[in-house]
Amino acid sequence: MSSSHKAPLMRIARRDSISIPQGWFIRLAGLALALAVSAVVIYAIVKLNPLNVYGAMFDGNFGTEKRFWITMRDMVMLLCVGIGLAPAFKMRFWNIGGEGQILIGGIATAAVMIYLGNTLPTWLLLLVSFAVSCGAGAMWGLIPAAFKARFGTNETLFTLMMNYVAIQLTSFFVATWENPFGSNTVGIINQQTKAGWFPALFGQQYMLNIVIVLALVVMMYIYLRFSKQGYEISVVGESERTARYIGIHVKSVIKRTMMLSGAICGLAGFIAVAGSSHTISTSTAGGIGFTAIIVAWLAKFNTFTMILIAMLLVFLEKGSIQIASQYNLNDFASKMITGIILFFILGSEFFINYRLVFRGGKEAN
């Protein structure tokens, strides 16, 4: 008695490769489909013209000059942390501690501004704040890396728990530096003298923020793609056994890379305090450390692609706030649109990495 096995009607096969134009076509198709589905949901739930809603989202980001620069400020902040997470993630070291590293860098910057604000000129104050914030972030990143290298600890849990330690440290220093006394806030640091504040560049308050982060985009791209250290990060991420076989000191790479990751996240704290809010609080990081994980991962650690991802996420966030305010909607309705768009954007990455094979279709090469 013979039996035959019929192939499934449809199955999923991993793509061996995909061209850059094809990848971007899939992403754009996903975005277009997301907008179409969102339009249906908008009309079905709140009976609004979807084009007007999308226009309101655009207006919330770019409707005035002030809104434009605030959008740029928030975008480069998110981008900076994404750049910081990229080398660690490429090494398959799951650094979930960006939030804490931002806070540690912010604490270091605030300390320099408070204690040295009346003794150093602003340019030197900025250089010291830059160095101290990067150093503090690097040391904060080194701690989980050292435990991972020495004891094989779980870096995801370790870096996550260190976020809570950083939050408590921030609360301690806020209580220490509170101004006025009893307010439980630091207030605006050096409000009269503006010592340690980023100076306006080309007449724009946040231009220096943008220049610093765009410089980081270029430097990190070169570092990861063309440097010896970037090559070592890639090899360790692919296989620690292979890395050891070809003579790479894996423990040193882990420590060095996490110090770099922490330093850049600490730099983000410097930008947040000296270049934006001019104060420190437990909300200084504002969840950016977690959102930046999406930025780094979707961009596949390409820092230039991160610019587009960071811009999209900030656009959606500010757009949802605008439509909630303009049309008197609750947060759930506006964030539903954001969720739908993100779902399709994330889904497009699936079809970039995998393809559907129907019965009788050929295997991927």
Q: What confidence tens digit (pLDDT) does each residue in 226-278 have? A: 999 999 999 999 999 999 999 999 999 999 999 999 999 999 999 999 999 99
- 8-44 tens-digit pLDDT: 777 788 887 788 888 888 888 998 999 899 899 888 8
Class of domain 77-319: mainly alpha
pLDDT of residue 60: 92
| Predicted structure pTM score | 0.91
Residue 166's contacts (CB-CB under 8 Å, 6 or more residues apart) are 97, 99, 100, 101, 103, 104, 140
Q: What is the pLDDT of residues 306-322, one digit of tens each?
A: 999 999 999 999 998 89
46 against 76, higher pLDDT: 76
Residue type, 353: N
pLDDT tens-digit series, residues 110-155: 999 999 999 999 999 999 999 999 999 999 999 999 999 999 999 9
What is the reported pLDDT for 195? 95
pLDDT for position 364: 44
pLDDT in tens, 151-191: 999 999 999 999 999 999 999 999 999 988 878 899 999 99
Contacts of 136 (CB under 8 A, 6+ apart): 104, 105, 107, 108, 266
Distance, in Å, from the CA atom of 94 to the CA atom of 91, rounded to the nearest integer, reads: 8
Could you give the maximum distance between any two Cα atoms of the chain, in Å? 94
What distance in Å separates the CA atoms of residue 265 and residue 246, rounded to the nearest whole number? 31
What pLDDT, on a 0 to 100 scale, did the predictor assign at position 1? 46
* H-assigned helices in 91-227: 98-116, 122-151, 155-177, 207-226
| Residues 80, 210: Cα–Cα separation, whole Å | 10
CB-CB neighbours of 265 under 10 Å: 36
Which is higher by pLDDT, 222 or 44?
A: 222
Distance CA 154, CA 134 (A): 24
Query: What does the pLDDT read at residue 231?
Result: 97
Predicted pLDDT of residue 349 = 83
Average pLDDT over residues 359-365: 53
The residue-averaged pLDDT of 342-365 equals 75
Residue 266 confidence (pLDDT): 98
- Across the chain, mean pLDDT equals 91
* 81: helix, strand or coil: helix
Euclidean distance between CA atoms 105 and 166, whole angstroms: 10
C-alpha dist (Å) from residue 131 to 105, 134, 136, 264, 272: 10, 5, 9, 11, 15
362: pLDDT strictly greater than 70: no
